[in-house]
Amino acid sequence: MRKIVVFTGAGMSAESGIKTFRDSDGLWENHPVEDVATPQAWARNPRLVLDFYNARRKQMREVEPNKGHAALVELEKCFNVQIITQNVDNLHERAGSSSVLHLHGELDKVRSTRNPKLIFTPEHWEIKLGDVGEDGAQLRPHIVWFGEQVPMFDVAIDITQTADIMIVVGTSLVVYPAASLIEYVPANAPIFLIDPKAEPQSRRNIEIIRGTAAEELPEFVKKLISNEITSKNA
Ligand code: NAD
């Protein structure tokens, strides 16, 4: 089976009702990211950071995967599909995708502030100051904050280097190191970028499809399955 690597960003979940922050004047649900998604923010005001991610976790449980997520599940009938996502929501998994790598962590997991390997999935969406793991240390969101290492990046590179086709959906390609992933796509593998605001990329020859995930992906997946795209581009 040919391998399709799908690299998704915040725009993938926009039509499910989860806002991107680059489309909201650099604010993420009304907060500057420096106040809620950095190690400095956590040191300064852990309560605000916990509350922010509590709200994100609660919202995630209230929304549903969209037609774009569903189309990627459909693609598995004919291709080996590996999703690499910058999203911290679980909408790919809930739609039914079987291989999802989270580069920036997962909202529905928390971990010990003392031991990063002590990770678990809480039943309730709310984590408070004073909630501790089995090692007695305060719990924090299992999220890669801005300025932190991206531990899964090497795994993402390995996956990307074996792609026959790469599809990038709903990402501005400005958050590094994630955005540099496309440089690891083999030279003979076509890359497609689905995003309503996609800009031409100088780094690689990328075919741009200007539109939203839920509108464009179902049609695009149909074309891939009927071989219209692979035969033309690969
Ligand atoms: P980003 O830089 O990847 O930008 C979002 C992109 O989505 C933009 O290019 C925009 O044009 C595009 N977009 C908007 N609506 C779309 C649609 N309906 N279909 C397809 N594309 C669409 O992402 P960001 O918002 O700047 O977030 C950066 C980081 O913050 C993410 O990598 C993630 O770690 C975190 N974040 C996660 C979520 C989530 O998990 N759902 C949401 C917001 C932010």
The residues facing 192 across adjacent strands are 167, 207
| pLDDT tens-place string over residues 60-88 | 999 999 999 999 999 999 999 999 999 99
CA-based nearest residue to 111, from 143, 150, 88, 86: 143
- Return the residue whose CA atom lies nearest to atom 14 of ligand 1: 11
User: Which CATH class name applies to 19-62+108-143?
Assistant: alpha beta
Element (H, E) at 43: helix 39-44
Q: Whose CA is nearest to atom 16 of ligand 1?
A: 11
pLDDT in tens, 170-198: 998 877 787 899 999 999 999 999 999 98
CATH code matching the domain that covers 1-17+65-104+149-234, chosen among 3.40.50.1240, 3.40.47.10, 3.40.50.300, 3.40.50.1220: 3.40.50.1220
Ligand 1 atom index nearest CA of 13:
41
Domain ranges in the chain are: 1-17+65-104+149-234, 19-62+108-143
Mean pLDDT of 21-32: 77
Q: Per the confidence metrics, is the pTM higher than 0.85?
A: yes
